[in-house]
Amino acid sequence: MGDSRNAFKCLLTAAQSGDTWGQVNLGSSYASGTGVRRSLRKAAYWYKKAYNNGNSWGSLNLAIDRTNQGRIRSAVIWFKKAAEMNDGAAFLELAKIYKARKGGKKAAASLLRRALRMGRDDISYDAREEVESLLKEITKLQEHSGTRSPRTKLFATTADGLTPVLCTSTYESRLV
């Protein structure tokens, strides 16, 4: 416990001096209770501080905490903030949420394709592999459902590219 407590003190000093990685890691310490009493409220404070200072991991970690708390709407907001900063993991996590929603597979596939176009600086190798796997799974599910009926529900995205919007088409469509 002594090493954890000392590490916490070092992170606190770094975070208070404006170091965004110190802020993210301090938030993680509060979220996990490592070296300090667990406090999701204090974790959220430091994650938001890191995000406001330009570190996408602050919003990503906050979104993950919100997901774990079952606060999905809030999680989506924070995943979108991380995605706006080109965080590939955020695209992946948003896609997982949309995939689970009724009719959300198309929006999920769109997010996954965007993640695949990201460079190495924006998405980790492991996240890229998971994106590829999830996209294959969604594609397979869409293929098994066959051609959509003439009156089909399609999902597009808003200008931010992150929010699915329900559209109705009167034309026959093919899976892409």
pLDDT value at 6 more than 80: yes
Local confidence band at 153 (pLDDT 50, 70, 90 cut-offs): very low
Cβ contacts of 143 within 8 Å, gap of 6 or more: 175
Mind listing the pLDDT tens digit for each residue in 116-144?
A: 999 999 999 999 999 999 999 999 888 87
C-alpha 30/C-alpha 43 separation (Å) is 5
CA 136, 144, 140 angle in degrees (round to 5)?
5
pLDDT value at 72 more than 50: yes
Q: In the CATH scheme, what is the code of domain 2-146?
A: 1.25.40.10
Cβ contacts of 155 within 8 Å, gap of 6 or more: 103, 104, 106, 107, 110, 164, 165, 166, 167
pLDDT value at 2 more than 80: no
In the chain, the percentage of residues whose pLDDT exceeds 90 is 76
Higher local confidence (pLDDT), 128 or 4: 128
Higher local confidence (pLDDT), 61 or 157: 61
Q: Check residue 142 and give its pLDDT.
A: 81
Mind listing the pLDDT tens digit for each residue in 40-53?
A: 999 999 999 999 99
